[in-house]
Homo-oligomer: A and B are copies of this chain.
Amino acid sequence: MNEKRRKIKLLLHYDGSGYHGWAAQPGMATIQGTLQEAFYKLCGQAVTVVGSSRTDAGVHALGQTAHVVLNDCPVPTENLQKALNRLLPAEIVIADLQEVEDSFHAISSTVSKVYCYTICTDPLRPVFDIRRCWHYPVNLDSGAMQQAAQRLIGTRDFTSFAAAADQRQSSIRTILRCQVLSDPPWIRFEVEADGFLYNMVRNIVGTLTEIGRGRWNPEKIDEILEARDRAAAGPIAPPQGLCLVKIHY
């Protein structure tokens, strides 16, 4: 192994409002693309910043994790975080940066991920948080939502909660914990799983709100899981309420 080769692990916070999601796309403002540009400016080399999750447009993070390999970069590791943060726009910040073993991989080393989804039920839209929550001015029964959420825990086939476009081989995932927390007019949904299918959290939240507003009983969750059909679940919740809060390794 080349002594000048370093593997760097990044902990990232970002407000995804103005970005076309994580994944770099030519001519588009993306989180990955913006980070890669900062590395290019600082280290003079094209790098790939590998993120644990490809968050969608408008989705936020307070705990995205990524890795990057630097070759012969003259900047010492202890100076990288400050220097990169100076180059990054206000909405993206590297909250922690460390050199790690070469065996670490932001995607394949992941043990579990935690997402949080925020709903505001106030009749008045919250102007300061409007890009960080789903403004859904409806009376929601958070107790019924919490009962429904408990029925999702465990190892199950989540096909009904995956975007039809999801091409992954297996739809089996394990939800380790999930919880509906009510702090009127706010409702927060927190979920930890070993992995998520495409749009899975937003589809679960959309379904929980149907239960919260009384369209379905909490037991409906069992029926939806059983159906293994996206059409059985509720509508998708909008992206701006979603935040990736933690990757466990």
Contacts and interface: CB of A to CB of B under 8 A. Distances in A.
A1 to B, nearest CB: 32
Contact of A125 (B93, B127, B128, B132): B93
A72 interface: no
A161 interface: no
A92 interface: yes
A128 B60 contact: yes
Interface residues of A, number: 18
B60 A91 contact: no
A131 B128 CA distance: 10
A124 interface: yes
A13 B90 contact: no
Interface string A125-143: 1011011100000000000
A85 interface: yes
Contacts of A130: 15, 90-91
A229 to B, nearest CB: 34
Contacts of A197: none
A132 B127 CA distance: 11
**This chain: copies in complex:** 2
A87 interface: no
B127 A92 contact: yes
A115 interface: no
A14 interface: yes
A95 interface: yes
A124 to B, nearest CB: 6
Nearest to A130: B90
Contacts of A127: 13-15, 90-93
Contacts of A132: 128
A242 to B, nearest CB: 13
Nearest to A91: B127
Contacts of A15: 127-128, 130
Interface of A: 13-15, 60, 62, 85, 90-93, 95, 124-125, 127-128, 130-132
14 contacts: A13-B124, A13-B127, A13-B128, A14-B127, A15-B127, A15-B128, A15-B130, A60-B128, A62-B128, A90-B130, A90-B131, A91-B130, A93-B124, A93-B127
Given A13-B124, A15-B127, 6 more contacts: A60-B128, A90-B125, A91-B127, A91-B130, A93-B124, A128-B132
